[in-house]
Each structure stands twice: as C-alpha cells, then as structure tokens.
Amino acid sequence: MADCIFCKIANKEIPSTAVFEDEQVIAFKDLEPQAPVHVLVIPKKHIVSVGALQAEDKDVVSHILCDVIPKIAKEQGIAEKGFRVVANTGAEGGQTVNHLHFHVLGGRSMQWPPG
C-alpha cells in the first residue's frame, strides 16, 4: 500500500536489518529497540491490524506464530528463558504503524501489566 512504511520495508524501498524473510513474511530489527532483542514480524501483504484480519489471512498468521516466531526466538537466543509477543492494535492499543506487526521482545525480564 502506498505510503505504508512497512510495505516499503517489505518491498525494500526502505532499508531494514532483516533477520528472516520468505515469500509471505519479513522480520527485521525494530528501529527503537525496547529490549536487547526486539524484532518486528510482518506479513508482506498489507493487513492493517489484528482487528482487520480476514479468514484468508489464517495461513500467514499461523505461519508467523507457528513457524517464524519460534525460529527467530531460537536464533536470537531467547527461546529458553522466555520472550514476549505483542500486537498493538488500534489507537488505544498503542498501534502507531497501521500494517500488522508482531513485536518479539526478549533478553530481559518483562513487566506486567503493560503501560
């Protein structure tokens, strides 16, 4: 989608530090990391948010959660100690980029509840 920063990253119009990529998905380091490991995992297809998911998106979302995030967690060395997966959704959910993304955060203890 034009003017979407994460579509531009998926299309390599904006550089990013990718840690994983396949046909459906790209994962890259967050520009402003909030933990020692902070990776964003996005579908290459422009989907606005969790709130906008359709039945046709089941494959890519399950691929992200079942395959891609566990692989990244292992490779980044956070699988054993634990990590956090966050999908901020909508304005009150704290979403600032309106292209579905899963934050993968690890390498330190996380607090709860979030702010």
Residues forming the active site: 101
Pairing of strands 18-21, 83-86: unpaired
CA atoms of 7 and 92, how far apart (whole Å):
23
CA atoms of 29 and 38, how far apart (whole Å):
6
Q: Tell whether residue 97 is a contact of Zn ion (CB under 5 A).
A: no
Of the candidate spans 24-32, 52-60, 63-71, 106-114, the one that interacts with ligand 5GP by CB under 6 A turns out to be: 24-32
Q: Which does 4 bind (CB under 5 to 8 A by kind): ligand 5GP, Zn ion, none?
A: Zn ion
Of the candidate spans 11-19, 22-30, 41-49, 83-91, the one that interacts with Zn ion by CB under 5 A turns out to be: 41-49
> What is the DSSP code (8-state) at residue 64?
I
